[in-house]
Structure 1
Amino acid sequence: MTVTDFRPRSVPNEVARVTSTAAELLEVLWGRASTAPASASQLRVLLILEHNSGINLRTLADFLASTPPSTSRLCDRLQAAGFVEREVSPADRREVRLHLSSHGQAFLTDLRVRRQQTVQAVLEQMPHAERAALLRGLEAFCIAAEAQIHDGSEASEGPDSRTA
């Protein structure tokens, strides 16, 4: 027998439980770095627009699992705050395209810096070997999550949405 025989195995349910706990702790820590003047819902819109610039209201509503009227009101508030820009689609004047403004991007950049500082303070309390292991694990998690998000978005779009 080796030392590793005595170590508990990583059970997927246990890993999911600890990951959920870590995410909740991050929410508490990040809650100290205010997202004002954007609410949690508005922040989600900004993050979606950052990665999907030029989407229309219906697509954004689908991302949010919301209705187009509610999504429109949310975007009205973000536009009034200077975080979102709307433009009429050149292909269809009835369609409005949404973009993150430079002010919105600056807000996200500042928020990320503040959140990263909060996480850095926690990481500095961890031994180097555990930080290195966490980094490897989180990199693998991000790759798997991005693949699942990408696969899920293609599946929900359907074949008709991929026309050129």
Structure 2
Amino acid sequence: MERPLNLPAAIDAAAEALVGVLDSAVSRHQLSVSPTQLRVLSLLSGRPETNVNRLAELLDVVPSSASRLCDRLEATGLLRRVADPRDRREVLLVPTAAAAALLREVRERRHAALQAVLDRMPGRVQQELLQALVCFGQAAIGSVEPQPGAPARTA
């Protein structure tokens, strides 16, 4: 299989289109949180042992900025601060059930928007895209399994 002339540019353009689809799926509906707050909730939902300092690192912001974001989320009932059972001096950030419901709603909207785009593509192309995305994801984290018939990678 030949590589397109400018594969990185094609991926960049596809990523822009993907971001547009995902953003429009959420922006058409009034959400009670900003995109940054939504990102915080998403980060925290997958990291149950996170404190404000760790959140600040994940967001690449100073701890005081992360703390203010958490203050706003806590005020809206989407986040709780709880004492770490292993060290009562530490405070963990825990998304509430309302946050989980919000994230589920956003994920469903995004999946529906993506499905609408995929439905305009032939099934064969969808399967090829799935395989390519899985391989890309593996390559991005450095664990690619060689595909049958593919040339060996050299360092």
TM superposition score category, shorter chain reference: 0.7 to 0.9
Q: Does the 8 Å contact 2:79/2:93 carry over to 1?
A: yes
- Deviation readout 1:11-66 (Å, 9 max, x if unpaired): 6xx33322222222122222222362221111111111111112111011000000
Correspondence for 2:119: 124
After superposition, residues 140-151 of structure 1 pair within 5 angstroms as 140-145=135-140, 147=141
Equivalent in 29, 40, 43 of residue 21 of structure 2:
29
- Deviation readout 1:122-158 (Å, 9 max, x if unpaired): 111111111110011112223334x36xxxxxxxxxx
How much identity, in percent, do the aligned residues show? 38
Q: Hey, what's the Cα distance between the residues in 1 that align with 2:105 and 2:111?
A: 10
Decide which moves more: 46-55 or 27-36. Answer: 27-36
- Deviation readout 1:68-103 (Å, 9 max, x if unpaired): 000000011111122212101234333210112111
Correspondence for 2:60: 65
Q: Does the 8 Å contact 2:26/2:110 carry over to 1?
A: no
Q: Is it true that 1:103 corresponds to 2:98 in the alignment?
A: yes
Correspondence for 1:115: 110
Q: Greater share of helix residues, 1 or 2? A: 1
Q: Hey, what's the Cα distance between the residues in 2 that align with 1:45 and 1:16?
A: 29
Q: Is it true that 1:137 corresponds to 2:132 in the alignment?
A: yes
Q: Hey, what's the Cα distance between the residues in 2 that align with 1:17 and 1:93?
A: 50
Decide which moves more: 115-124 or 28-37. Answer: 28-37
| Aligned pairs, number | 139
Q: Does the 8 Å contact 2:26/2:109 carry over to 1?
A: no
Name the SS for the 1:44 alignment partner. Answer: helix
Q: Hey, what's the Cα distance between the residues in 2 that align with 1:140 and 1:101?
A: 34
Q: TM-score, normalising length from structure 2?
A: 0.80
Correspondence for 1:18: 10
Q: Hey, what's the Cα distance between the residues in 2 that align with 1:102 and 1:73?
A: 21
Q: Hey, what's the Cα distance between the residues in 1 that align with 2:16 and 2:114?
A: 13
Correspondence for 1:160: none
What is the alpha-carbon root mean square deviation over aligned residues?
A: 1.9
Structure 1's unaligned 5+ residue stretches are 149-164
After superposition, residues 19-98 of structure 1 pair within 5 angstroms as 19-34=11-26, 36-98=31-93
| One-letter code aligned to 2:95 | L
Correspondence for 1:9: 3
Structure 2's unaligned 5+ residue stretches are 143-155
